[in-house]
C-alpha cells in the first residue's frame, strides 16, 4: 500500500516549496539560461539506478492534491553526470517524470526548474531536484509494473518495468531512422535481433540510405556476437 503522509514532515518542506513550480506557466528560458545549460548540461549522460531501502510514497499538500515521491534526480557537474535514483516500487511514469526534469534543465530551466545545490561531507558539490509528481490520488491504478534491476548481459538499461521487458544492447539514432539491438520478452531460445524504425515522411537520400544500411549491418553483427555469448552461457 502506498503511504499517504502529511505535508508536515521536515522532509516534505522543500517539496512543498518546489510544489509551486508549474512548468506550464513558467517563462521560457532566457538566452543566458540557455547558454549556461548548453555549456554545462547539454551533453551529459544519465545513469538510472534502483536504490534499496526507500519506497515510493504519496503525500497530500494543503491544496488537497496528492504528490508522489519516487526517487531523486541529481547532476554532478564535476563528474559530468546526471543520475536518477529510483525508489523501490517506482513505475515507468516516475522515470519519465525524472527524465523530463532533466530535459528541462538541459533546455535552460535549471535553477528556476527546481535544482538545488548540495554539499557532500567531503566538500564536493552536486545538485538535486526534489520536485514531486502530481498524481490523481494515493491509490495507483492497476496493473502496476514496478522497477526491477536488469540481469540480461549486454543490456544498456539498469532497470525495467514489468515482467516482459524489452532489452536493448544498442540504440542508434540516425538521420530519419533508428536502429536497435533488441531482445524482446526473453525466454529460453529467444535471441538478440535488429529492430528498425524509419520516420514516415523521410526520404532517404543515397548517403542516408547507405548510413542506414551500415548501421543495420553493424547491429546485425553485434547481435550475432551477443547470441553466440548467450548460447554459450545457456549450454554451459
On the CB side of 60, CA atoms within 13 Å amount to 12
Instruction: Extract the C-alpha cell encoding 31.
Output: 538566452
In the complex with Zn ion, which residue's Cβ is closer, 192 or 212? 192
Question: Which helix (H) or strand (E) segment is 200 a member of?
Answer: none
Nearest distance from residue 160's CB to Zn ion, in Å? 5
Site map 165..194 versus Zn ion, x via CB under 5 A: --x---------------------------
Query: Could you say which of 81, 140, 152, 186 contacts Zn ion (CB under 5 A)?
Result: 152
In the complex with Zn ion, which residue's Cβ is closer, 157 or 195? 157
Listed ranges 71-79, 127-135, 150-158, 218-226: which one lies at the site for Zn ion (CB under 5 A): 150-158
Query: Could you say which of 16, 148, 150, 204 contacts Zn ion (CB under 5 A)?
Result: 150
Question: Does residue number 155 form part of the binding site for Zn ion (CB under 5 A)?
Answer: yes
Nearest distance from residue 84's CB to Zn ion, in Å? 16
Tell me the number of residues near Zn ion by CB under 5 A: 5
Residues in the chain: 236
Question: Going by C-beta distance under 8 Å and a sequence separation of 6 or more, which residues neighbour residue 72?
Answer: 83, 84, 85, 128, 129, 130
In the complex with Zn ion, which residue's Cβ is closer, 21 or 148? 148
In the complex with Zn ion, which residue's Cβ is closer, 17 or 156? 156
Give the other-Cβ count within 10 Å of 234's Cβ: 9
Listed ranges 22-30, 51-59, 159-167, 169-177: which one lies at the site for Zn ion (CB under 5 A): 159-167
Burial 62-88 (b: 16+ CB within 10 A, else e): eeeebbbbbbbbbbeeeeeebbbbbbb
Q: What are phi and psi of 118, to 5 degrees?
A: -135, 150
CB contact at 8 A, 58 and 98: no
Query: Could you say which of 36, 157, 161, 195 contacts Zn ion (CB under 5 A)?
Result: 157
CA distance 114 to 109: 8
The DSSP code for 191 is -
Residue nearest to Zn ion (CB): 155
CB contact at 8 A, 156 and 169: yes
The DSSP code for 151 is -
Nearest distance from residue 95's CB to Zn ion, in Å? 14
Packed helices 31-40 and 92-107: angle between N→C axes, nearest 10 degrees: 110
In the complex with Zn ion, which residue's Cβ is closer, 178 or 208? 178
Listed ranges 18-26, 49-57, 163-171, 224-232: which one lies at the site for Zn ion (CB under 5 A): 163-171
In the complex with Zn ion, which residue's Cβ is closer, 12 or 90? 90
- The residue ranges that bind Zn ion (CB under 5 A) are 150, 152, 155, 157, 167
Amino acid at each position: 500500500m502506498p503511504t499517504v503522509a502529511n505535508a508536515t514532515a521536515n522532509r516534505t518542506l522543500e517539496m512543498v516549496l518546489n510544489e509551486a513550480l508549474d512548468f506550464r506557466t513558467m517563462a521560457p528560458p532566457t538566452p543566458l539560461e540557455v547558454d549556461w545549460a548548453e555549456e554545462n548540461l547539454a551533453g551529459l549522460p544519465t545513469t538510472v539506478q534502483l536504490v534499496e531501502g526507500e519506497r515510493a510514497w504519496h503525500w497530500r499538500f494543503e491544496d488537497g492534491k496528492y504528490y508522489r515521491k519516487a526517487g531523486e534526480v541529481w547532476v554532478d557537474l564535476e563528474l559530468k553526470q546526471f543520475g536518477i535514483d529510483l525508489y523501490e516500487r517506482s513505475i515507468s511514469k516516475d522515470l519519465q517524470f525524472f527524465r523530463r526534469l532533466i530535459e528541462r534543465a538541459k533546455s535552460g530551466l535549471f535553477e528556476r526548474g527546481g535544482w538545488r545545490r548540495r554539499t557532500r561531507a567531503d566538500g564536493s558539490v552536486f545538485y538535486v531536484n526534489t520536485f514531486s509528481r502530481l498524481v490523481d490520488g494515493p491509490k495507483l491504478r492497476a496493473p502496476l509494473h514496478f522497477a526491477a534491476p536488469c540481469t540480461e548481459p549486454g543490456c544498456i538499461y539498469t532497470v525495467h518495468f514489468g515482467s516482459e521487458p524489452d532489452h536493448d544492447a544498442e540504440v542508434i539514432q540516425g538521420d530519419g531512422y533508428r536502429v536497435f539491438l533488441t531482445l524482446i520478452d526473453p525466454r529460453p531460445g529467444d535471441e538478440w535481433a535488429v529492430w528498425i524504425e524509419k520516420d514516415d515522411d523521410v526520404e532517404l537520400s543515397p548517403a542516408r540510405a547507405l548510413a542506414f544500411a551500415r548501421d543495420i549491418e553493424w547491429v546485425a553483427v553485434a547481435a550475432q556476437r551477443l547470441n553466440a555469448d548467450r548460447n554459450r552461457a545457456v549450454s554451459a
